[in-house]
A and B are shown apart, each in its own frame.
Chain A
Amino acid sequence: MSRAGALALKQPPEFEQAAPRAVPAAPVIAARGLSLTYTTADGPVHALSNVDLAVAPGEFVSFIGPSGCGKTTLLRCVADLEQPTGGELTVNGVGAEAARLRRDYGFVFQAPALYPWRTIARNVALPLEIFGVPRAERRERVAHYLDLVQLSGFANKFPWQLSGGMQQRASIARALCFDPKLLLMDEPFGALDEIVRDHLNAQLLELWRKTAKTVLFVTHSIPEAVYLSTRVVVMSPRPGRIIDIVDCTALGRERPLEIRESPEFLRLGQRVREGLRAGHAYDA
Chain B
Amino acid sequence: MGVVLALLAGWYLAALFGNWNGAADALARAGAIPDAEKIAAATMAQERPVVPAPHQVVSELWRSIVGMPLGSKRSLLTHAWVTLSATLVGFAIGSLLGIALAVAIVHLRSVEASLMPWIVASQTVPILAVAPIIIVALGAAGLTGLLPKAVIAAYLCFFPVTVGMVKGLNAPDRIQRDLMRTYSASRGQILVRLRWPAALPYLFASLKIAVAASLVGTIVAELPTGTQAGLGARLLAGSYYGQTIQIWAALFAAAALSALLVQGIGLAEAATARALGARPAGRVPRSAR
Q: Which of B181, B197, B198, B277 has the most CB of A within 10 A?
A: B277
Taking CB atoms, residues of chain A closer than 8 Å to B285 are 160-161, 163
Q: Which chain A residue has the least Cβ–Cβ distance from B173?
A: A113
Q: Which of A22-43 contact B (CB under 8 A)?
A: none
Asked whether, in the complex, the Cβ of A127 is within 8 Å of the Cβ of B277, the reply is: no
Q: Which of B178-212 contact A (CB under 8 A)?
A: 178-179, 181-185, 189, 193-194, 197-198, 200
A15 within 8 A of B: no
Pick the residue among B181, B277, B287, B289 that contacts A116 (CB under 8 A). B277
Interface size range on A against B = 20 to 34
Asked whether, in the complex, the Cβ of A113 is within 8 Å of the Cβ of B176, the reply is: yes
Asked whether, in the complex, the Cβ of B175 is within 8 Å of the Cβ of A109, the reply is: yes
User: Contacts A117-B197, A127-B183, A130-B193 hold; do A165 and B289 have CB atoms under 8 A apart?
Assistant: yes
Q: Which chain B residue has the least Cβ–Cβ distance from A111?
A: B175
Alpha-carbon separation in the docked complex, A118 to B198 (Å): 11
Alpha-carbon separation in the docked complex, A154 to B179 (Å): 22
Taking CB atoms, residues of chain B closer than 8 Å to A105 are 182
What is the CB-to-nearest-CB distance from B246 to chain A, in angstroms, rounded to a whole number?
48
A208 within 8 A of B: no
Pick the residue among A130, A160, A165, A196 that contacts B279 (CB under 8 A). A160
Taking CB atoms, residues of chain A closer than 8 Å to B277 are 116-119, 158-160
Asked whether, in the complex, the Cβ of A107 is within 8 Å of the Cβ of B288, the reply is: no
Asked whether, in the complex, the Cβ of B175 is within 8 Å of the Cβ of A79, the reply is: no
User: Contacts A113-B176, A162-B288 hold; do A130 and B185 have CB atoms under 8 A apart?
Assistant: yes
What is the CB-to-nearest-CB distance from B158 to chain A, in angstroms, rounded to a whole number?
26
Asked whether, in the complex, the Cβ of A109 is within 8 Å of the Cβ of B179, the reply is: yes
Against B, the Cβ 8 Å flags (1 = close, 0 = not) of A161-172 are 111011000000
Taking CB atoms, residues of chain A closer than 8 Å to B189 are 130
B109 within 8 A of A: no
Q: Which of A89-122 contact B (CB under 8 A)?
A: 100-101, 103, 105-107, 109-111, 113, 115-119
Taking CB atoms, residues of chain A closer than 8 Å to B289 are 163, 165-166, 196
Against A, the Cβ 8 Å flags (1 = close, 0 = not) of B256-289 are 0000000000000000000011110000011111
Alpha-carbon separation in the docked complex, A80 to B279 (Å): 35
Asked whether, in the complex, the Cβ of B193 is within 8 Å of the Cβ of A129, the reply is: yes
Q: Which of B144-197 contact A (CB under 8 A)?
A: 175-176, 178-179, 181-185, 189, 193-194, 197
Alpha-carbon separation in the docked complex, A103 to B198 (Å): 25
Pick the residue among B184, B193, B200 that contacts A100 (CB under 8 A). B184
Alpha-carbon separation in the docked complex, A165 to B181 (Å): 24
Asked whether, in the complex, the Cβ of B197 is within 8 Å of the Cβ of A115, the reply is: yes
Alpha-carbon separation in the docked complex, A131 to B286 (Å): 33
Asked whether, in the complex, the Cβ of B182 is within 8 Å of the Cβ of A107, the reply is: yes
What is the CB-to-nearest-CB distance from A33 to chain B, in angstroms, rounded to a whole number?
25
Pick the residue among A103, A109, A110 that contacts B184 (CB under 8 A). A103
Q: Which chain B residue has the least Cβ–Cβ distance from A193?
A: B289
What is the CB-to-nearest-CB distance from B163 to chain A, in angstroms, rounded to a whole number?
22
A126 within 8 A of B: yes
Q: Which of A106-156 contact B (CB under 8 A)?
A: 106-107, 109-111, 113, 115-119, 126-127, 129-131, 154
A257 within 8 A of B: no
Taking CB atoms, residues of chain B closer than 8 Å to A111 are 175
Alpha-carbon separation in the docked complex, A100 to B183 (Å): 7
Q: Which chain B residue has the least Cβ–Cβ distance from A105?
A: B182
Against B, the Cβ 8 Å flags (1 = close, 0 = not) of A35-59 are 0000000000000000000000000
Taking CB atoms, residues of chain A closer than 8 Å to B287 are 163
Q: Which chain A residue has the least Cβ–Cβ distance from B176?
A: A113
Asked whether, in the complex, the Cβ of B286 is within 8 Å of the Cβ of A107, the reply is: no
Alpha-carbon separation in the docked complex, A166 to B181 (Å): 24
Asked whether, in the complex, the Cβ of A103 is within 8 Å of the Cβ of B286, the reply is: no
What is the CB-to-nearest-CB distance from A191 to chain B, in angstroms, rounded to a whole number?
12
Q: Which chain A residue has the least Cβ–Cβ distance from B181?
A: A81
Asked whether, in the complex, the Cβ of B183 is within 8 Å of the Cβ of A130, the reply is: yes
What is the CB-to-nearest-CB distance from A75 to chain B, in angstroms, rounded to a whole number?
11
5 nearest A-B residue pairs (beta carbon): A158-B277, A117-B276, A163-B287, A107-B182, A160-B279
Interface residues of A (CB under 8 A from B): 79-81, 100-101, 103, 105-107, 109-111, 113, 115-119, 126-127, 129-131, 154, 158-163, 165-166, 196
A-B contact pairs, 24 of them (CB 8 A): A79-B182, A80-B181, A81-B178, A100-B181, A100-B182, A103-B183, A107-B178, A107-B179, A109-B179, A111-B175, A116-B278, A117-B197, A117-B198, A127-B183, A129-B193, A130-B185, A130-B193, A158-B277, A158-B279, A159-B277, A160-B277, A160-B279, A161-B286, A163-B289
